[in-house]
Structure 1
Amino acid sequence: MKAIVMSGFGEAEQLVARDVAEPAQRPGWVTVKLEASALNWHDVLVRRGLYRSPLPHTPGADGAGIRTDTGEQVVITPSLFWGKRTEAPAADFEILGDATAGTYAEYVSVPEECVLPKPEGYSWEQAAALGLVGITCYRALVTRAALAAGESLLIVGAGGGVSTMAQALGCAIGADVFVTASGVGKLDRARASGASGGVLHDDDGWPERARVLAPGADGFDVILDPVGLWSHSVRALRPGGRLVVLGANVAEQVTMDVRPFFFGQYSLLGTTMGSPQDFSGLLGLIAAGDVPPPTIDSVFSLNEAAAAHRRLESGQAIGKIVLRN
Structure 2
Amino acid sequence: MKAVVHNGKSGLRGLVYQDIPSQNPGYGEVKVKLKTAGLNHRDLFLMKNKTEQDPEFILGSDGAGMIEAVGEGVNDLAVHTEVVILPTLNWEGTDDVPPVPNILGGPSNGTLAEYVIIPSKNAVKKPSYLSWEEAGVLPLSALTAYRALFTKAQLKKSEHILIPGIGSGVATYALLMAKAIGATVSVTSRSQEKRKRAIQLGADHAFDSYSNWSEHLQGQKADVILDSIGPALFSEYFDHVKPNGRIVSFGASSGDNLSFPLRSLFFPQINILGTSMGSSDEFHEMLHFMEKYKLRPVLDRTYPIEQAYEAYTRMQEGSQFGNIGITID
State the TM-score bracket (shorter-chain normalisation).
Answer: over 0.9
Stretches of structure 2 lacking an aligned partner (at least 5 in a row):
70-77
Cα 1:105–1:194 change in 2 (3 A) is same
The CA deviation string for residues 41-67 of structure 1, in whole angstroms up to 9 with x for no partner, is 001111112699952211111001111
Q: How does 1:64-213 map to 2 (within 5 A)?
A: 64-69=64-69, 70=78, 71-84=80-93, 86-91=94-99, 93-202=101-210, 205-206=212-213, 208-209=214-215, 211-212=217-218
**Cα deviation per residue 1:83-140 (whole Å; 9 max; x = unaligned)?**
55x2242347411112110111011111222121111221111101110111000000
Letter in 2 for 1:146: Q
Uncovered stretches (5+) of structure 1, i.e. residues with no partner: none
After superposition, the CA RMSD in angstroms is 1.8
CA distance in 2 between partners of 1:29 and 1:15 (Å): 27
Superposed displacement of residue 259, structure 1: 0.9
Contact 2:10 2:51 in 1 (8 A): no
Q: Which residue of 2 aligns with 1:277?
A: 281
CA distance in 1, matches of 2:88, 2:223: 28
The residue that corresponds to 1:309 in the other structure is 312
Match of 2:224 in 1: 222
Q: Relative to 1, partners in 2 of residues 1:242 and 1:152: Cα closer, same or farther, differing over 3 Å?
A: same
| 8 Å CA contact 1:179, 1:187 repeated in 2 | yes
Question: Does the 8 Å contact 1:83/1:90 carry over to 2?
Answer: no
Q: TM-score, normalised by structure 2?
A: 0.91
Q: Which residue of 2 aligns with 1:265?
A: 269
CA contact (8 A) 2:165 2:188 kept: yes
Normalising by structure 1, report the TM-score: 0.92
Indicate whether 1:240 and 2:250 are aligned: no
Report the equivalent of 1:2: 2
Q: Is the 8 A contact 2:8 2:51 kept in 1?
A: no
Distance 1:302-1:237 versus aligned 2 partners, 3 A rule = same
Which of 235, 241, 255 aligns to 2:259? It is 255
Give the match's secondary structure for 1:235.
coil
The answer to whether residue 305 in structure 2 is matched with residue 296 in structure 1 is no
Deviation for aligned residue 1:82: 1.2
Contact 1:144 1:269 in 2 (8 A): yes
What percent of counterpart residues are identical? 35
Cα distance per residue 1:149-188 (max 9 Å; x no partner)? 1111111111111111110111112111110111211111
SS at match of 2:223: strand
Q: How much has 1:218 moved relative to structure 2?
A: 4.3
CA gap 1:262/1:88 in 2 versus in 1, 3 angstroms? farther
Mean Cα displacement is larger for which, 223-232 or 183-192? 223-232
Q: What is the CA-CA distance between 1:248 and the residue it aligns to?
A: 0.7
Q: Distance in 2 between matches of 1:260 and 1:62?
A: 38
